């Protein structure tokens, strides 16, 4: 009998992939399933980006690249950060990653160890807690409250910090709630953060904001730049989830550690994808703007429809492409609701508890689907709940 290391029994998962598998199984059985479960844009990658990837392959970019990523891509990222976040960052501090996830994986590996505490958003992306527990560190939830628009309260975060706190993770716009943290809370956090605490700011949805909301990047605060890790990438903004392309900005003192983790794990991101990434950042942005306009239209359809469902109460999400209604008025717990919506109404969603220990009254709807399908899904759920 082989024995796995103890960390493996603490490693969690992302339920979205299980729901996707069950939805696919029901489809194979001939059921018509509307997928509002998966968190990926339903648009293709912009054509010129695909072409740039193909051209790179034809031009012979078939070998390893530097582990940190090719310089022209890191320069394109630096220019994009300067344009969108108004901050000058040296390409030396930028690391190209195979998606957004490896940045959180590496950051948590770097700071997590038995005896350490890491604060993470709850409800939040499930991999944060999973990885913190894997390292043996204590996972301390930052509760995101519905009444605060699912933004963190800086006072609560600062009160939870102890001498053992090594890292805090923040995510705005947030998954699964669509919540956007207001500037005042970010500034209060920055002002009060003790120097021994590093921050991982997951800004993967930075481009996805509604109603004129602004993106407040932690990168804009020089006070924390020596201990801030910024996570961003191409998956959501450019509909490139399957390409596996992301980037991170690291403090000068620890970028070398991040690159060493790259060398020890994936070596580098495949070359053609990196060239596609340059085309995405430097080329026309109309496909991104078109996609965002479509998400906004869907948001304006789904929120009132969710609000009108018996027992549902739904906040207006400021960003990303998720709605996170409170379903306590239905009398059903979230997992039962998820199962009934999928098995009886043929609508895939994800129950709140997949995103944390403070989310059992919520269910996540991803509106990365057509207006027609969203409309049909809401009609089906309405019939189920009032039937």
Looking at the Cβ atoms of 175 and 354, the one nearer to ligand PLP is 175
Residues 57-116 that bind ligand PLP (CB under 6 A): 99-101
Bridge-partner residues for 248, per DSSP?
A: 95, 231
Asked if residue 380 lies in contact with residue 35, where contact means CB atoms within 8 angstroms, the answer is no
Least CB distance to ligand PLP at residue 5 (A): 24
Least CB distance to ligand PLP at residue 208 (A): 11
Query: For residue 171, which of 183, 163, 161, 179 has the smallest C-alpha distance?
Result: 179
Looking at the Cβ atoms of 174 and 283, the one nearer to ligand PLP is 174
Looking at the Cβ atoms of 277 and 283, the one nearer to ligand PLP is 277
Using the rule CB under 6 A, is 349 a contact of ligand PLP? no
Looking at the Cβ atoms of 176 and 283, the one nearer to ligand PLP is 176
Looking at the Cβ atoms of 56 and 240, the one nearer to ligand PLP is 240
Looking at the Cβ atoms of 365 and 381, the one nearer to ligand PLP is 365
Using the rule CB under 6 A, is 126 a contact of ligand PLP? no
Looking at the Cβ atoms of 99 and 179, the one nearer to ligand PLP is 99
Least CB distance to ligand PLP at residue 104 (A): 7
Least CB distance to ligand PLP at residue 110 (A): 17
Count of CB atoms situated within 10 Å of the CB of 263: 12
Least CB distance to ligand PLP at residue 278 (A): 17
Which of 202, 229, 276, 318 forms a contact with ligand PLP (CB under 6 A)?
A: 202
Taking the mean position of all CA atoms in its chain, how far away is CA 235?
Answer: 9
Residues 208-247 that bind ligand PLP (CB under 6 A): 233, 235, 241, 246
Looking at the Cβ atoms of 235 and 270, the one nearer to ligand PLP is 235
Asked if residue 345 lies in contact with residue 198, where contact means CB atoms within 8 angstroms, the answer is no
Give the total of residues touching ligand PLP (CB under 6 A).
Answer: 13
Cα distance between residue 183 and residue 161, in whole Å: 21
Least CB distance to ligand PLP at residue 321 (A): 10
Residues 153-182 that bind ligand PLP (CB under 6 A): 171, 175
Q: What is the 3-state secondary structure (H, E, C) of 163-223?
A: CCEEEEEEECCCCCCCCCCCHHHHHHHHHHCCCCCEEEEECCCCCCECCCCCCCCHHHCHH
Query: For residue 247, which of 239, 257, 259, 264 has the smallest C-alpha distance?
Result: 259
Asked if residue 19 lies in contact with residue 37, where contact means CB atoms within 8 angstroms, the answer is yes
DSSP state of 67: T
For residue 79, whether the previous peptide bond is cis, meaning omega lies within 30 degrees of 0, is: no
Using the rule CB under 6 A, is 366 a contact of ligand PLP? no
The three-state secondary structure class of 306 is helix
Bridge-partner residues for 94, per DSSP?
A: 249
Query: For residue 228, which of 239, 237, 217 has the smallest C-alpha distance?
Result: 217
Cα distance from N-terminal residue to C-terminal residue, the chain: 52
Q: What is the contact surface with ligand PLP in residues (CB under 6 A)?
A: 39, 99-101, 125, 171, 175, 202, 204, 233, 235, 241, 246
């Amino acid at each position: 009998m082989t024995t796995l290391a103890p960390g493996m029994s603490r490693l969690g998962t992302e339920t979205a992939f299980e729901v996707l598998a069950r939805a696919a199984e029901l489809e194979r059985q001939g059921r018509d399933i509307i997928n509002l479960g998966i968190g990926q844009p339903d648009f293709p990658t912009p054509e010129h980006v695909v072409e740039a990837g193909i051209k790179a392959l034809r031009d012979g970019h078939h070998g390893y690249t530097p582990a940190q990523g090719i310089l022209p891509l890191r320069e394109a990222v630096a220019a994009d950060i300067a344009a969108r976040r108004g901050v000058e960052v040296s390409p030396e501090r930028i690391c190209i990653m195979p998606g957004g996830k490896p940045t959180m994986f590496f950051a948590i590996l770097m700071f997590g160890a038995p005896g350490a505490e890491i604060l993470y958003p709850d409800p939040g992306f499930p991999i944060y807690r999973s990885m913190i527990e894997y390292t043996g560190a204590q996972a301390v939830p930052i509760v995101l409250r519905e009444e605060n628009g699912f933004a963190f309260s800086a006072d609560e975060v600062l009160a939870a910090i102890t001498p053992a706190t090594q890292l805090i993770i923040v995510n705005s716009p947030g998954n699964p709630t669509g919540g956007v943290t207001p500037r005042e809370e970010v500034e209060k956090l920055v002002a009060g953060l003790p120097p021994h605490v590093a921050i991982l700011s997951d800004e993967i949805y930075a481009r996805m904001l509604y109603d004129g909301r602004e993106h407040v990047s932690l990168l804009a605060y020089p006070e924390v730049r020596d201990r801030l890790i910024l996570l961003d990438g191409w998956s959501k903004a450019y509909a490139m989830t399957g390409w596996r392309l992301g980037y991170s900005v690291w403090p000068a003192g620890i970028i070398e550690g991040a690159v060493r983790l790259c060398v020890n794990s994936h070596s580098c991101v495949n070359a053609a994808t990196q060239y596609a990434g340059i085309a995405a950042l430097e080329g026309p942005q109309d496909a991104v703007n078109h996609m965002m306009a479509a998400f906004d239209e869907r948001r304006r359809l789904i929120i009132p429809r969710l609000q009108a469902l018996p027992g549902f109460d739904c906040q207006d999400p400021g960003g990303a492409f998720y709605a996170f209604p409170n379903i306590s008025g239905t009398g059903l717990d979230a997992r039962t609701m998820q199962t009934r919506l999928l098995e009886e109404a043929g609508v895939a969603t994800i129950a709140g508890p997949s995103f944390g220990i403070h989310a059992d009254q919520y269910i996540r709807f991803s509106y990365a689907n057509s207006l027609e399908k969203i409309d049909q899904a809401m009609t089906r759920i309405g019939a189920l709940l009032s039937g």
